Amino acid sequence: MGHGKLRKFAENETFRCLLQPAAEEVMSHGENKALLLKDHPIKGRWNQEMFAADQPIILELGCGKGDYTIALAERHPEMNFIGVDIKGARLWKGAKYATEKALPNVAFLRTRIEFIPAFFAPGEVAEIWLTFSDPQLKSPNSRLTSPLFLDRYRSFLAPGGIVHLKTDSRFLHEYTKAVIAANGLPVLTSGTDIYHEGLTVFAADDARLRDLAAVTEVQTFYESMFLEMGLPITYLSFTLDRPFVSSGSRNFIFPADFDEKFWREAEGPRRTFSHQRAKQ
């Protein structure tokens, strides 16, 4: 491990805005030594323990360096923002900026997204942002908009809470649309090339869509790079409310008619190229 990473990891320990739980704080052993998720003490207490004011909480899952979390927080001081990622060296940048600027509405959580229900109580989160997530072309269960993850989000997302998906991956965009359709979820906004074709808004009078301008005015590090390469950026926003299904009556289901092969073949060369550039 390089000295730069070691320095960042050491400095991370000094940031009050960064929570880095040990594995034993969220995992326990059940029968036959099976690992079970257990609640972290911060669950249900984010506003009291981590923020200056009791305000709606917005998550960015897979936040990387935290640039999008920071930008949204500076844009909306009336809300509290939490960036989540497993990479401590990446989180260092956002946590350091938030600390130096004394931002009262920014926090970061270092954990695996699979563990996220251990940290948030029912109704504690108002919105979720998924920004340029790995589309997991061959692993449906690992996609952050898969039914497995939507079930996790539903455990803590408030009724009417919004899920935002912003991505350069048309595969992930179309897959998410198929999941939405299979589960009868309300779509609020959609666009397949937001910088050139704009957005289609399906709920124009919905007060939750208060800042659609942020979809194009706030950009992640990867987004700026993808735009330079001429790649179209897509966007979806939707809720996990199912008007024809009683709350909690069944899990979300996988789509039966998503053409994985077609969209994977359409995606492959472009996605590989974009990620080679992004890692340089």
| Active-site residue set | 134
For residues 98 and 101, what is the distance between their CA atoms, to the nearest angstrom?
5
Nearest partner of 107 among 127, 79, 132, judged by Cα? 79
Q: Are 202 and 187 in contact (CB under 8 A)?
A: yes
Half-sphere exposure of 62 (CA within 13 A, CB side): 19
For residues 223 and 233, what is the distance between their CA atoms, to the nearest angstrom?
8
Sign of CA dihedral 223, 224, 229, 234: positive
